[in-house]
Amino acid sequence: MRFLKKALLEGSFLLDIDARDMRSILRQTLSYVVATGLLSEDKRDEVEDALMEREAWASTAIGNATAVPHAYLDAFKEPIIVFVRLAHPLNLGAPDQVPTQFVFVLLGPTGAATRHLDALANIARLMVDDEFRYEAGVARTQLDLLGAVDQFVKRTAPSAVGVEKTVPQSLEYTGRLFGGLIQDIHRRWPWYASDFRDGLHVKSVASTLFLYFACLAPAVTFGGILAELTNNEIGAIEMIIASAFCGVAYALFSGQPMVILGGTGPLLIFTWMLYVLCVTLGIEDQFLEARAWVGLWTALLMLILAATDASSLVRFFTRFTDEIFAALIAIIFVYASIEAMFRVVHGVYAQDEVSHDGALVPLLLAAGTFYIAMSLSRFRRSRYLLPRMREFLADFGPAIALGAMTAVAVMWFEDVEIITLPVPDSIRPTTDRGWYVDPFQAPRWVWFASLGPAVLVAVLAYVDQNITARLVNSRDHKLKKGEAYHYDLAIVGVLIGICSLFGLPWLVAATVRSLNHVHSLATMEEVVSKGGDVHERIIHVRETRVTGTAIHLLIGLSVLALPLLMSIPMAVLYGLFLFMGIVSLSGNQFIGRLGLWLTDPSLYPVTHYIRRVPMPTIHKFTLLQFGCLVVLGIVEITPAGMLFPLILLLLIPVRHIAARYFAPEHLAALDAEEDPDEEETHWV
């Protein structure tokens, strides 16, 4: 590594050169070498011919967007390394079929090849690292390149004990009151300023536009459902204000701003059951006051959980549980969007005067939104246009799809009756009341009896918040700024307490929206597996507070533009929800293993677990997860949904019991925290 750093220190690098093939790359590189006096002009053609002769024998593109052309002639007095970054990646015949963007030109006197072996090994180690490739791709100066190398050395340095810690520091039990919470603050505070600087990028604009609608529509929908279930005690306007206030507060003050808060099914069901209980007890007129006490007790319980490092228990969850939970929430999004479209079609044909246009147009709008968003999100893999244009279209794909299909509905189908976003017509509580809810107006016995329901709400919030945060913090997402489970749980508890005093809905981490937030800010890289399968993986995520703040500020400002929002067809939003659900399912190893049940065994992908684990064992493990998914799904869609987190917690002992029936080495492969490095380093 010292040889490589020495070359960069001496300025042996060229950034963003415009080249169309290997010969033009080498010509520009040799021009630089001649200009620095390391090669005489009369030897230039000889070196170029030697380099191209080596290239004709076999491509020097070794994979991971890297090529290493080399030549050793008497024209040189000492070994030379020149780092070259291409303005536009080129297909130079790499074994992984990934276009080449980085070229390390190795030159030296005859017999100096052995002196380059160490440099070649270090190049291989560097370029297999996703984060280094990202940093090298955005570097603008010599210091940026040297800093990227230094950061790589720090990331890959062996630990003091020589082994990787199995439990992240953020989930270690400190044994001290507020110990974990204080550590979370110390871990995240140094990054606070960079959380805003890193958001100054076009990706933040695309993410904000996409998630603004992706968060506003569920807020309005959940608010409408709550209004029906609580006799208009809580409605859409309360949900919009809660989303704006809690979203901005969480984005500015939380430890993990990549998480997006929102309403969830279990909390909605619990609110309904609490209202029914109040009606049964004859205190429906004090429903909001009773709910305020439940919320205040919940806030206190969550603060106690945060102070006692209760989130450290999340370390007992593994990929087994994460995959089931993420798959369930994504499937609910997919099912909800499809079911909503069937409901629209059924509603049209249930009328006395049937209008085929009223059924067909919403289907076209939803399908068009989904198709455009999905196609554009994959456009970065296309061969058309320049890389920056492909990246722009991929980032703005969902926003473009929503705008395009809304324009189609307004311009071409103005004569068709289409259901639009049902936003409230004014900024006031759904019922005739003031905003502040005085909890002391409730009967005195309610003050203490509400502690019982608060325990269930605290469990609901604890599980939803921590599992979603764990999914966001997955190693597959390459987040670098650290976690803050205990601190974030305290923040959510405080927000629940505040919302309770103003009759606003309770919000916790929303899984699908949070995962889409991460994906929308990610830099992706195309990967071709040994079996020829093409997929994308995250190499870097812009961890920022800018997008979360902007998204929820826009939601708050939406109350000033209600007429405009009323023109957005619900069918377009259903298509957007379908896209979000499908995107959340992609990359879920459990879903991939489900597909093996219908796949020709001779065409199975070459993955680490298929190589290491017998197929009957893989199918048994997948069947166990599928059974757990079915049980959770049944609980989620029934009135027992408020017990969903308790059932989810039971997956921990299920996974523990499974260890008795699966070999440890098989579980290690199927339930690995992340894919083994060997999946990405086959050419090193």
Dist. CA 72–CA 56, nearest whole Å: 16
3-class DSSP assignment, residue 81: strand
What phi and psi, each to the nearest 5 degrees, are found at residue 317? Answer: -80, 145
- Under 8 Å CB-to-CB from 404, ≥6 apart: which residues? 368, 372
pLDDT of residue 217: 77
Average predicted confidence (pLDDT) for the chain: 83
* Highest-pLDDT range among 467-471, 672-676, 677-681: 467-471
How large is the average pLDDT for residues 629-652? 79
What phi and psi, each to the nearest 5 degrees, are found at residue 17? Answer: -80, 145
Taking the CB of residue 146, how many other CB atoms lie within 10 A of it?
Answer: 14
**587-599 confidence digits (pLDDT tens):** 788 888 888 888 8
Choose among 350, 380, 378, 346: nearest CA to 363: 346
Two structure tokens written together for 665: 């080495």
Choose among 328, 310, 224: nearest CA to 486: 310
Please report which confidence band the pLDDT of residue 529 belongs to, taking 50, 70 and 90 as the band edges. Answer: low
Give residue 650's identity as a one-letter amino acid code. Answer: L
**Range name among 218-227, 247-256, 436-445 with the lowest pLDDT average:** 218-227
Dist. CA 19–CA 26, nearest whole Å: 9
Buried b or exposed e, range 574-600, using 16+ CB within 10 angstroms: bbbbbbbbbbbbebbbbbbbbebeeee
Which candidate in 70, 477, 517, 552 is catalytic? Answer: 70
Q: Does the structure show a pLDDT above 60 at 401?
A: yes
Please report which confidence band the pLDDT of residue 673 belongs to, taking 50, 70 and 90 as the band edges. Answer: low
517 is a catalytic site residue: no
pLDDT of residue 532: 52
What phi and psi, each to the nearest 5 degrees, are found at residue 639? Answer: -60, -15
Please report which confidence band the pLDDT of residue 118 belongs to, taking 50, 70 and 90 as the band edges. Answer: confident
**262-289 confidence digits (pLDDT tens):** 888 778 878 888 888 888 888 888 899 9
Residue spans of alpha helices (H) in 254-318: 265-280, 287-307
Query: Would you give the end-to-end CA distance of the chain in angstroms?
Result: 15
Taking CA atoms, 27 is separated from 84, 99, 359, in Å, by 12, 20, 62
- Quick one: which H or E segment has residue 122? helix 117-127
pLDDT of residue 160: 39
3-class DSSP assignment, residue 539: strand
Q: Which domains, ranges and CATH numbers included, belong to the chain?
A: 2-156 (3.40.930.10), 179-679 (no CATH)
Give the rounded distance of the alpha carbon of 502 from its chain centre: 32
How large is the average pLDDT for residues 62-79? 84
- Under 8 Å CB-to-CB from 195, ≥6 apart: which residues? 257, 481, 543, 544, 545, 546
Residue 409, CB half-sphere, CA atoms under 13 Å: how many? 29
- Quick one: which H or E segment has residue 407? helix 397-412
Two structure tokens written together for 478: 């390459």
- Under 8 Å CB-to-CB from 518, ≥6 apart: which residues? 258, 472, 477, 479, 538, 541
Dist. CA 624–CA 181, nearest whole Å: 36
Dist. CA 19–CA 103, nearest whole Å: 12
- Under 8 Å CB-to-CB from 208, ≥6 apart: which residues? 547, 550, 551, 554
pLDDT of residue 683: 35
Q: Are strands 508-509 and 261-262 parallel, antiparallel or unpaired?
A: antiparallel
| Residue 84 · residue 14 · CB < 8 Å | yes
Dist. CA 456–CA 302, nearest whole Å: 11
Q: Which residue has the tokens 């290491």?
A: 612
